[in-house]
Amino acid sequence: IPFISYLSALQKSQLLSDDMVNGVEISCEEKGSCPSSCHLCHHHGEQTSPIPVLLEVSRVVPLYSLVQDNVTKEAFKSATMSSYWCAGKGDVIDNWCRCDLSAFSKDGLPNCSPLRQPILRLAPYLEPSSTMVALEWLDVEPLIGCKISDYVIQHKRVEDPTEAEVYTGKGS
């Protein structure tokens, strides 16, 4: 459904009983990729592969309610995961793991652990409403290199929640 219709349904949802409100599926698809000018994150022959992430809503609810739900919050994180790059030493492994020069095992293979996860929280400078919410992304490591990602959000009316297609996405 068009986004304006979704917002309209949010306003009307207070007047309808729960069983009369249609569910809404929200999917987030990553369309971006590293710019070729970035020597830290550009891989030769790299193909752009969109990663679908489903944010499933069982009924039309305020966006503020969605980000309070832990499952939905994790899906938001997965859909908007930042990319971190090596800070001058070690190597980048699968765009999410950083190794120090001393973090190699006896057989020469990298023995590294994932970086700490960024923090996603409600932005304190904007009051959430039933139609709008501001999210704040806190990075815990300095950003070195860059990755450009554009997200397309699609809305689809679901008459019967059991017919909803469910996708799982992996953040990078």
Q: Would 35 be classed as within a structural domain?
A: yes
State the total domains in the chain. Answer: 1
Q: Between the ranges 14-23, 80-89, 106-115, where is the mean pLDDT highest?
A: 106-115
Please compute the mean of the pLDDT values over residues 103-110 and round it to a whole number. Answer: 60
User: Residue 142 class from Cβ within 10 Å (0-12 exposed, 13-18 middle, 19+ buried)?
Assistant: exposed
pLDDT tops 60 at residue 83: no
- Residue 76 placed within a domain: yes
Arithmetic mean of pLDDT, 130-140 = 67
In a domain, 98, yes or no: no
Tokens of 112: 């590294």
Would you say residue 23 lies in a domain? yes
Domain presence at residue 131: yes
Q: How confident is the model at residue 151 (pLDDT cuts 50, 70, 90)?
A: low
Q: What is the pLDDT of residue 127?
A: 76
Q: Give me the phi and psi of 94, to 5 degrees please.
A: 55, 30
- Assigned domain for 102 exists: no
Range of the domain at 43: 3-83+116-163
Distance CA 172, CA 83 (A): 7
Examine residue 170 and state whether it is found in any structural domain, yes or no: no
With bands split at pLDDT 50, 70 and 90, how would you rate the model's confidence at 77?
low
Q: How far is CA 6 from CA 17, 52, 53, 74, 140, in A?
A: 17, 21, 19, 22, 34
Measured between alpha carbons, how far is residue 97 from residues 85, 93, 104 in Å? Answer: 8, 5, 13
| pLDDT for the residue numbered 12 | 64
Chain segment 85-105, per-residue pLDDT in tens? 333 334 444 443 444 445 556
In a domain, 75, yes or no: yes
- Cα–Cα separations (whole angstroms), residue 4 to 9, 96, 127, 168: 9, 36, 21, 26
Residues 25 and 70: their CA atoms lie apart, in Å, by 17
In this prediction, residues 67-79 reach a mean pLDDT of: 63
Q: What does the pLDDT average to over 113-127? A: 66
